[in-house]
Amino acid sequence: METYKSDKVTINHNINLIYSKLSDPNIFKAQIDNNMDRLPEEAREHLKSVKFEEDGISVESPMGTLKLSVSESQEPTMVKYTAQSSPVPFGVTINLESVDENTTQAVTELNIELPFMLKAMVGGKLSEGAQKMGELIAKLPYGEM
């Protein structure tokens, strides 16, 4: 299994708050529903294929529905989402580290099992995806969720 990591990002919130939000994907549904009109049209179109549920996130894809569920967690330092029905086994792990009472650092890992031939073709894109995911995690409005 290959691992692609984001850079370490700093989040100006308490680790317990961040963990509570990231470990409950249903929270994102309310946040998106309340702010849908503020999102760019392209983002709204992409979100039509995403369904946030209590135990995971489902995405409609050309290969069918792909569901990521919380498969493991260690409060308050780690949340792991694993694909339940995917042609390629993969998961996303979010590692949190408390710096002080109001500052947390996070690293996002994309773990995927790729055949050797594919790794050379898509490895760069997967590294970029892990980086963008890390940046997104840092920008979430944790205090408003």
pTM of the model: 0.85
Write the DSSP assignment of 58-113 as a string of letters: EEEETTEEEEEEEEEEETTTEEEEEESS-SS-EEEEEEEEEEETTEEEEEEEEEE-
Query: pLDDT per residue over 15-71, tens digit each?
Result: 999 999 999 988 878 777 887 888 778 777 877 788 888 778 887 766 677 889 999
Domains and CATH numbers, the chain: 2-144 (3.30.530.20)
More confident call, 103 vs 54: 103
Secondary element (H or E) of residue 122: helix 116-139
